[in-house]
């Protein structure tokens, strides 16, 4: 399932499994293909595809810093589809991956037959609240390295407050210190939260394909009302509430599996 393709001087890592309706399902910030591929088991008739975005996972090298953002990611996805000889896909993602999916749907509408949003973390414009938090983590990474930086972050008021509100989000933030190349991690943490998948919420009215939006409560990084607002703008979009991961990761995963399977059965199978 794990494969490589070359584009723009970078070797991209991706997974491609199953046969049928192609579904590109993208990971969140600092994640990799294991996140969406571990969350959704495609039913018969669905082909699941996911790639490690620039500055993520096994995709190397970093490449031009100015292409680490939604526009660059969307062109990388278009290149992957051309490499796989796929014309149109259902495109979706989790958090950052959801923002990439919506940007791709707006920029390449002729290549999109459906859209999935799971725990979106952006509306119009940058998410300044999240950007401030991730920039602080990037500073700790650069100033103290991953081990000491993580220790200092876990002693901070921001981490303590997050633990009270959402233990899962607190753990995810602490996990930003894990992995290889602190420099690559700091670059993506500073750049991506300040990027924007679109400029005006009304742009989403241009999306005219079957759409599933999933959001959960008790998650300050992925506000519940972001999902509601996105679903309201896209005509005919289906909105589903997920169990918060801070309540039960097992129930959250089961909800995603159920709603995604139902979406494909309703519209494509």
pLDDT tens for 27-50 read 999 999 999 999 999 999 999 999
Cα–Cα nearest to 97, from 137, 56, 138: 56
Model-wide pTM > 0.85: yes
Q: Residue 212: its pLDDT value, please? A: 98
Segment 176-193 mean pLDDT? 90
Q: Are 1 and 17 in contact (CB under 8 A)?
A: yes
Burial of 199 by CB count in 10 Å (0-12 exposed, 13-18 middle, 19+ buried)? exposed
Q: What is the pLDDT of residues 218-258, one digit of tens each?
A: 999 999 999 999 999 999 999 999 999 989 999 999 999 99
Segment 168-183 mean pLDDT? 89
Inform me whether the pLDDT recorded for 180 exceeds 90: no
Here the tokens at position 111 are 């290549």
pLDDT grade for 68, boundaries at 50, 70 and 90: very high
Q: Are 70 and 99 in contact (CB under 8 A)?
A: yes
pLDDT grade for 139, boundaries at 50, 70 and 90: very high
Q: Residue 19: its pLDDT value, please? A: 96
The domains of the chain are located at 2-126+196-267, 128-191
Looking at the chain, list the stretches that DSSP marks H as alpha helix, in order from N- to C-terminal side.
Answer: 34-39, 70-83, 96-107, 128-154, 157-165, 167-174, 182-191, 224-233, 249-267
137 contact partners, CB below 8 Å, separation of at least 6: 149, 153, 173, 176, 177, 189
Fold classification of 2-126+196-267 (topology level): Rossmann fold (3.40.50)
Inform me whether the pLDDT recorded for 173 exceeds 90: yes
Q: Are 62 and 84 in contact (CB under 8 A)?
A: no
Which secondary-structure segment (H or E) carries 117?
Answer: strand 112-118
**Average pLDDT of the chain, as a whole number:** 96
């Amino acid at each position: 399932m794990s494969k490589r393709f070359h584009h723009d001087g970078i070797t991209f890592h991706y997974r491609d499994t199953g046969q049928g309706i192609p579904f590109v399902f993208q990971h969140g910030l600092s994640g990799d293909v294991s996140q969406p591929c571990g969350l959704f088991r495609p039913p018969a008739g669905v082909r699941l595809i996911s790639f490690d975005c620039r500055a993520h996972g096994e995709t190397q090298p970093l490449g031009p810093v100015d292409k680490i953002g939604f526009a660059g990611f969307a062109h990388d996805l278009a290149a992957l589809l051309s490499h796989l000889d796929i014309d149109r896909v259902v495109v979706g993602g989790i958090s950052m991956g959801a923002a990439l999916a919506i940007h791709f749907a707006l920029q390449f509408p002729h290549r999109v037959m459906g859209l999935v949003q799971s725990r979106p973390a952006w509306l119009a414009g940058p998410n300044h609240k999240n950007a401030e938090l991730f920039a602080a983590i990037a500073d700790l990474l650069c100033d103290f390295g991953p081990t000491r930086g993580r220790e200092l972050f876990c002693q901070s008021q921001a981490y303590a407050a997050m633990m009270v509100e959402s233990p899962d989000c607190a753990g995810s933030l602490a996990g930003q210190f894990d992995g290889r190349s602190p420099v690559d991690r700091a670059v993506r943490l500073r750049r991506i939260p300040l990027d924007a998948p679109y400029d005006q919420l009304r742009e989403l009215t241009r999306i005219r394909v079957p759409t599933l939006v999933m959001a959960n409560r008790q998650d300050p990084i992925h506000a519940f009302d972001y999902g509601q607002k996105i679903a309201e703008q896209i005509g005919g979009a289906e909105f589903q509430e997920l169990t918060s991961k801070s309540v039960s990761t097992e129930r959250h995963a089961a909800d995603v599996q159920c709603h995604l399977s139902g979406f494909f059965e309703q519209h494509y199978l």
